[in-house]
Structure 1
Amino acid sequence: MPDNSEPMTALQRRVAERQATSLPHLIVEELEQMIITGALKGGDRINESALAMRLGVSRGPVREACRHLERSRLVEFRANRGMFVREISMAEAAQLYDIRASLFGLAGRLAATRVTTADADHLRARIDQLESAGSMDDYYPLNVDLHRAIVALAGNPRLTDLYDNISKELHLFRRHGLEPPTARHTSNEQHRQILDHLRAGDSDEAAKLMEEHILAGKHRMLAEEVSD
């Protein structure tokens, strides 16, 4: 546990509050956030001792969190070396993009029949926030949250889980694909078009635009691979 003579960090306070019930889950969330923000990249080793010290906990909950992330295919155990953030090939990333595009399109088809004026206003505020994001570090987590909010409006928890699991495996590639400011602006304009059709209840067009939105990310990824 952290030294009581030193002020607790915000993260350590969260750990203390949830120590008895969901500590491994909190650590999973923290590691996922580190992957989303790029603090952990594909191929990086997860130092369980350092992470446990940072959180002010024993290594047991950290190890349990890593096993959970291994089951969700975000990390992998390498014999005699430890736990690492998983690296995926370009071919596997392309396959995941295709699955994610179909799931996002389905979410749009369902959400268009359910979106309220309040929902649309909430999404528009999120899109405006994205437009004002000054850097990739600001933009990317907001972009992830916007997509999750849209999928949640479909009202299908199993679809949300499937979408989240596929998206988590693509965080490293998606972050790279949105690096140029022009790409971020184009992506956000697509968000506005999607919202217009969701608000109008146009299921077919919303589904089409949302699937194309994800496939545009796939095309950026493939184009960057060629240019490299």
Structure 2
Amino acid sequence: MANDPEMMSALQQRLAERQASTLPQLIVEELERMIISGVLTGGDRINESSLALRLGVSRGPVREACRQLERSRLVEFRTNRGMFVREISVEEAAQLYDIRAGLFRLAGKLAAARVTPEDLTRLREQVEALTAAESSTDDYYPGNVDLHRELVALAGNPRLAELYDGVSKELHLFRRHGLETAAARHISNTQHAEILDCLAAGDVERAGELMEAHVLAGKERMLAAARG
């Protein structure tokens, strides 16, 4: 795990402000952030003792956080070895991409029917921020994840958002690999802008098509990267 004193200090302050019952969820969020940002990748061991020491908490909340992540299939327990960030095969990743594409299409159709001008203003600001971040995967990818979550949230269907988020989390390693080049990030963000134009026009079917195609394009980049 890479050391980030300022971020860890901020997290420790947040931990101090929360009750003990919320600690596992806060640690879950931190571990997810580390996976999204690439600090932790597939196959990395999660050192519970080291993490607890860095966060200034006991091992209990860290262990509970790991159990939550295990249930969401982000990490896995290996007998006599401990907890590891889960690895998935290219074949499984491709299957998850297909599921994610279908969910994203449905979200686009629902979102196009209920998006507001205020929503669009906020989303366009996020796309502009991503444009400024296109030079770096580390800067671009977390914002890309947030934008996709915002688009799904616009559907107004919490269960859909939960399903989408679960599938997406399992794909973080592969999604990052599909955005390693500046050209891929630029294409991705151009597609974001096109999706917003469709949402603004209230074009339900076209918005769904574009959002599905956006995810499938990511799948093709992932497969190309896997082929080397």
TM-score (structure 2 length as normaliser): 0.95
Aligned residues: 220
Name the structure 1 match of 2:4.
Answer: none
Q: Matched residue of 1:80: which SS?
A: coil
Q: Which amino acid in the other structure matches residue 183 of structure 1?
A: A
Q: Identity, % of aligned pairs?
A: 72
Please state whether the residue corresponding to 2:21 is helix, strand or coil: coil
1:177 corresponds in structure 2 to: 178
- Match for residue 3 of structure 2? none
Structure 2 CA distance, aligned partners of 1:39 and 1:154? Answer: 31
Per mean C-alpha deviation after superposition, the further-off stretch among 178-187 and 9-18 is 9-18
1:116 — aligned with what?
116
Match of 1:4? none
Aligned to 1:196: 197
Measure how far apart 1:18 and its partner are. Answer: 1.2
Query: Offset of 1:34 from its aligned partner?
Result: 0.3
Rounded Cα–Cα distance in structure 2 between residues aligned with 1:110 and 1:26: 31
Q: Partners of 2:42 and 2:19 in 1: how far apart?
A: 29
CA offset at residue 135 of structure 1? 1.1
Q: Which residue of 2 aligns with 1:66?
A: 66
1:148-199 deviation digits (Å, cap 9, x = unpaired): 0010000000000000000000000000110100000000000010000001
Q: Distance in 2 between matches of 1:30 and 1:9?
A: 13
- The letter of the residue matching 2:202 is G
1:7-56 residue CA offsets vs partner (Å, 9 max, x unmatched): x9111111111133300000000000000000000000000000000100
Q: Distance in 1 between matches of 2:18 and 2:99?
A: 35
The whole-number CA distance in structure 2 between the counterparts of 1:18 and 1:74 is: 24
Matching residue's letter, 1:12 = Q
- Match for 2:58: what amino acid? S
Within 5 Å, which residues of 2 pair with 1:38-49? 38-49=38-49
TM-score where L is the length of structure 1: 0.95
User: Partners of 2:10 and 2:121 in 1: how far apart?
Assistant: 31
1:36 corresponds to which letter in structure 2?
I
Partner of 1:77, secondary structure, is strand
2:21 counterpart of 1:21: yes
Q: Which amino acid aligns with 2:87?
A: E
Structure 2 residues not aligned, in runs of 5+? 1-7
Aligned counterparts of 1:81 and 1:26: Cα–Cα separation in 2? 25
Deviations 1:39-84 (A, max 9, x none): 0000000000000001000000000000010010000000000000
Partner of 1:83: helix, strand, or coil? strand
Deviation at 1:224, TM superposition (A): 1.4
Superposition misfits of 4+ residues, deviation over 6 angstroms:
none
Q: Any conservation in 1 of the 2:46–2:82 contact (CA below 8 Å)? A: yes
Counterparts of 2:187 and 2:10, CA distance in 1 = 35
SS for the counterpart of 1:76 is strand
SS in 2 for 1:9: helix
C-alpha separation in 2, matches of 1:111 and 1:181: 29
Q: Which amino acid aligns with 1:59?
A: R
Question: Partners of 1:176 and 1:225 in 2: how far apart?
Answer: 9
Structure-2 separation of matches of 1:224 and 1:60: 39
Distance in 2 between residues matched to 1:66 and 1:99, nearest whole Å: 25
Give the Cα–Cα distance (whole angstroms) in 1 for the partners of residues 137 and 92 of structure 2.
24
Gaps of at least 5 residues in structure 1 are 1-7
Structure 1 position 225, deviation (Å): 1.6
Kindly indicate whether the alpha-carbon contact (under 8 Å) linking 2:34 and 2:40 is maintained by their aligned counterparts in 1. yes
